[in-house]
Amino acid sequence: MSENAAAQPTKKSWPEIDFKTLGPAIALLILCIIGYSLNSAFLSEGNVTNLLTRSAFIGIIAIGATFVITAGGIDLSVGSMAAVIAGLMIIIMNNAVDTFGSGVATVLIGCGCSIILGIGAGWINGVLTTKGKIEAFIVTLGTMGIYRSLVTYFADGGTLSLDFAIRGTYRPVYYESFFGLPIPVWVFIAVSIVGWVLLNRTAFGRFCTAIGSSEAVAKYSAINVDRIKTYTYIIQGLCVALATIIYVPRLGSASGSTGVLWELEAIAAVIIGGTVLKGGYGRIGGTILGALILTTIGNILNFTDLISNYLNGTMQGLIIIIAVWLQRGSWGKNKKTKT
């Protein structure tokens, strides 16, 4: 009894939690059944691998977004940040070819710079939000515009392309498999595990949840709110950098249209997964499912010509709303009041 009471304030009641966990999983299962019934090739090894690899970009970014949103923030700049990091990585690697050759060293320099840039960009968002006392929505709306126009500027309005010699060295990072799974999927799995441990098994994770629930209470509980919030944006930046590192070898190019609307996809994945948009409750597992659901919708729409191409957005919108309704619907709450 006393244990139950202690769990109450942070996690509400158990039966509903179970249901929340199942909501996105049920949605994904239904989608897979629909996909398979439309075309059995949906569950072919090739398509499943494509799906997982594609989910990796949005998934990794969304794991970072889970921290930001759990702590009551929001980051709209991730899509543009990915584009500008991709652009700078390409410029840096192209310039490093002359001195370091087209081998692994150049690729490692590119990846290192990507991580530094990601952490730096996240830190800027964090400091402007906490020390600058500007709403996260406005800060990241601003940096979103800045990064987007910077990549257009670096590319001179066109497309930045990776040197062909480096492409050969770097290409396997996206296309090669390791124990049957493509490397981006392994990165996604690793980031997921680290993210889950960080959010659920460390003081940092509890601080994020506490700040998201009530910043004032967290402050009076001697939590360094500004520092923790800045860390969430830095984690977000790091996740964007990792996603970019596996994105660049795919097509070896970046332009003004790279990563457009990724921020909304990442936020949608987080919310579909059960994290609360206004903060205070976050779920890494749900976020992973959310990212898979979003990619699966696009995949299924490509597998059928039953639905007009012009209605793709409608289908995506409907499925996002239904997936969230599955876990928030009043039928879940009725159960709770009865028990």
Partner 1 sequence: MNLTKTMLSLAVGGAIALSSSAFADDKIKIGVSYPTPTHAWAAGMNWHAEQAEKRLEALYPDVDLILVNSPDPSAQASALEDLVSVSQIDALVVLPFESEPLTDPVLNVKKSGALITVVDRGLSQPGIEDIYVAGNNPELGRVSAQYMKGRLSDGDNIVILRGIPTTIDNERFDAFMAEIEGSGINVLDHKHANWNRDDGFEVMQDFLSRFPDIDAVWAQDDDIAIGVVAALEQAGRTGDGMFVVGGAGMKETIKSIADGNELQPVDVLYPPAMIATAMDVTVAAFKSNGPVAGRYILGATLITQENAMQFYFPDSPF
Q: Which residues bind partner 1 (CB under 8 A)?
A: 39, 41-42, 44, 46-47, 50, 54, 152, 155-159, 161, 175, 250-251, 253, 255-258, 298-299, 301-303, 305, 309-310, 312
For partner 1, give the closer residue by CB, 198 or 254: 254
For partner 1, give the closer residue by CB, 159 or 214: 159
Give the DSSP per-residue string, 49-90. Answer: HHHHHHHHHHHHHHHHHHHHHHTT-----HHHHHHHHHHHHH
Roughly what angle, to the nearest 10 degrees, separates helices 104-130 and 136-154? Answer: 150
* DSSP 8-state assignment for residue 329: S
For partner 1, give the closer residue by CB, 153 or 331: 153
For partner 1, give the closer residue by CB, 284 or 300: 300
For partner 1, give the closer residue by CB, 220 or 310: 310
With beta carbons less than 8 A apart as the criterion, state whether 65 and 191 touch: no
For partner 1, give the closer residue by CB, 127 or 315: 315
For partner 1, give the closer residue by CB, 59 or 205: 59
Min. distance of Cβ 194 from partner 1 in angstroms? 26
Min. distance of Cβ 28 from partner 1 in angstroms? 18
Radius of gyration of the chain (CA): 21
Question: What's the rounded Cα separation, in Å, for the pair 168 and 165?
Answer: 6
Cβ contacts of 119 within 8 Å, gap of 6 or more? 234, 237, 238, 241
With beta carbons less than 8 A apart as the criterion, state whether 151 and 83 touch: yes
Min. distance of Cβ 60 from partner 1 in angstroms? 16
Min. distance of Cβ 134 from partner 1 in angstroms? 24
Question: What's the rounded Cα separation, in Å, for the pair 64 and 68?
Answer: 7
With beta carbons less than 8 A apart as the criterion, state whether 68 and 137 touch: no
Min. distance of Cβ 249 from partner 1 in angstroms? 10
Single-letter amino acid, residue 278 = K
With beta carbons less than 8 A apart as the criterion, state whether 293 and 323 touch: yes
Min. distance of Cβ 316 from partner 1 in angstroms? 13
Question: What's the rounded Cα separation, in Å, for the pair 147 and 40?
Answer: 42
For partner 1, give the closer residue by CB, 221 or 302: 302
Min. distance of Cβ 237 from partner 1 in angstroms? 21
Min. distance of Cβ 151 from partner 1 in angstroms? 10
Cβ contacts of 159 within 8 Å, gap of 6 or more? 253, 254, 255
